[in-house]
Amino acid sequence: MRLKGFSVPVKRITLFSGHYGSGKTNIAVNYALKIKENGANCRIVDLDIVNPYFRTKDSAKRLADAGVETVFPAYANSNVDLPALPKEIYGAVADRNTFAVLDIGGDDRGALALGRYAPDILAENDYEMVFVANFYRPLTRNAKDALSVMREIEAAGGIPFTAIVNNSNVGEETAAEDLTATFKIAEELSRLSGLPVVAVTAEEKVAQKTNGAFPLVLERKNFDI
């Protein structure tokens, strides 16, 4: 579907996955907010039941204030590390009138939960399955290693990737040059996988110094350490 603010059609369901720590949760949150900003209703679903920290729920207030509907596991961000999926996820997958952004777990084990919904998503066939790559993460330093993570996630989740987002960063120390230095690796991954690099993303201050990287507003904790 065409949405203003987007240069390409937005699929009804967008799924973000990739090696954990690559930034998929931050991208999912910012992407859902952008859909809503451009006038469409959107739900965001936390399907990452492996990692009990750094959850979509960290951004709960920002999402709720913007009017993005949120679907989180009942005990997310609590001491009860219970990997249970709420029934509302089916609603997000089945309701074809509302956009859905799905935040998938960060490796083969994390992506396993996706398999439950894969047949419905594939049947509707209006989805983008995005591989978020950070080539500064130790287990995805090159295209070959990133490709094997990609294949592991596909095998576990049951949905093939359709696009790549380059979110290479070294946290607070990221410079714009660090991002551009990874373009070649992203291209190599694109060649190996046959998938397009659809976006480059960066924290907003870094993104300002680039030629068109999608700016991410990151969730900050209460104080710097």
Nearer to other proteins, 79 or 125 (CB): 79
Nearer to other proteins, 103 or 107 (CB): 107
Strand order across the beta sheet in which 214-216 lies? 69-71, 42-46, 99-103, 13-17, 127-133, 163-166, 197-203, 214-216
Taking the complex as a whole, how short is the minimal distance between the CB of residue 202 and other proteins, in angstroms? Answer: 13
Taking the complex as a whole, how short is the minimal distance between the CB of residue 54 and other proteins, in angstroms? Answer: 8
Phi, psi of 190 (to 5 degrees): -60, -45
Taking the complex as a whole, how short is the minimal distance between the CB of residue 28 and other proteins, in angstroms? Answer: 17
CB 197 within 8 A of CB 185: no
Taking the complex as a whole, how short is the minimal distance between the CB of residue 222 and other proteins, in angstroms? Answer: 7
CB 193 within 8 A of CB 186: no
Helix 143-157, helix 183-193: angle, nearest 10: 50
Taking the complex as a whole, how short is the minimal distance between the CB of residue 65 and other proteins, in angstroms? Answer: 24
Residue 194, SS3?
coil
Nearer to other proteins, 96 or 184 (CB): 184
Q: Which residues form the interface with other proteins (CB under 8 A)?
A: 21, 52-54, 79, 81, 107, 134, 136-139, 141, 169-173, 175, 177-178, 181-182, 222-225
Residue 101, SS3?
strand
CB 3 within 8 A of CB 31: no
Taking the complex as a whole, how short is the minimal distance between the CB of residue 215 and other proteins, in angstroms? Answer: 19
Structure tokens at 63: 């999402």
Q: How many residues in total does the chain contain?
A: 225
* Residue that the structure tokens 């596909």 belong to: 154
